[in-house]
Structure 1
Amino acid sequence: MSDGTISPRLLPWTGAEGKRCLLVTDGTGPLSRLADTVERVQLEMALGLLDHAADILADRRVTPAQLRFTLARMHEALTDVHRIAESRGARLPAPACGDG
């Protein structure tokens, strides 16, 4: 996702006290590649969790504890996916004049 310009990138993890981590980069360095890998893993885990949640919802014998556990993991995954979307959206090129 690099166009050769230097710009801040929201990383797919948080720092101390849950604070956002930003990397000023052209998108080609080792930390950018690590962030790409972490994003890919987070998205794959979220997809797997969606499958698990479908199974949980289909099971009429599921316990409240199982539902709470699954909901907690869904919250974590949605937080990760939101951060990834925000990061990638911020790195999209600005629309050219007249593109709407």
Structure 2
Amino acid sequence: MISRNELRLLPWSGPEGKPCYLSTDDADGYLSRLADNTEAVQLGLADELLEHAPEVLGDGTAEPEELRLLAASLTGALRDVLRVATSRGHRLSAPEFGDGEEDGKGPLLPAAAFG
């Protein structure tokens, strides 16, 4: 199981683009809430950008500069979303095996979990 006070990858970079981390066991602390809000904003902006991209790409008259701006914006959004996904993935607790799951195949899910 992952420790609650494991370092959290924050949704912003430090100087020279280096990752920033938070060491806390208080998920309701100021920096944790700020990180949660920043992640929500980043994911929302990425969603809006994905809605806008087909309009630009579908416009046969889009100028090269407009396409470069779209590519740069999509690149930044993808970087942010990957950072959020990495951070959240590291904070997931690993499943504990038991009840006949010691064979290493992982937890068994009911068929209903798959729709």
What code does the residue aligned with 1:13 have?
Answer: W
Larger strand proportion of the pair: 1
Structure-2-length-normalised TM-score:
0.80
State how many pairs are aligned: 97
Superimposed CA distance per residue, residues 19-78 of structure 1 (whole angstroms, 9 cap, x where no aligned partner)? 110001122210000000000000000001001111101111111111110000000000
2:18 is matched with 19
Structure 2, unmatched stretches of 5+, are 107-115
1:58 is matched with 58
SS in 1 for 2:77: helix
Identity %: 51
Q: What is the Cα deviation at residue 18 of structure 1?
A: 0.5
| C-alpha RMSD of matched pairs (Å) | 1.3
- Hey, which bits of structure 1, 4+ residues long, moved more than 6 A? none
2:95 is matched with 95
Structure-1-length-normalised TM-score:
0.92
CA distance in 2, matches of 1:87, 1:71: 24
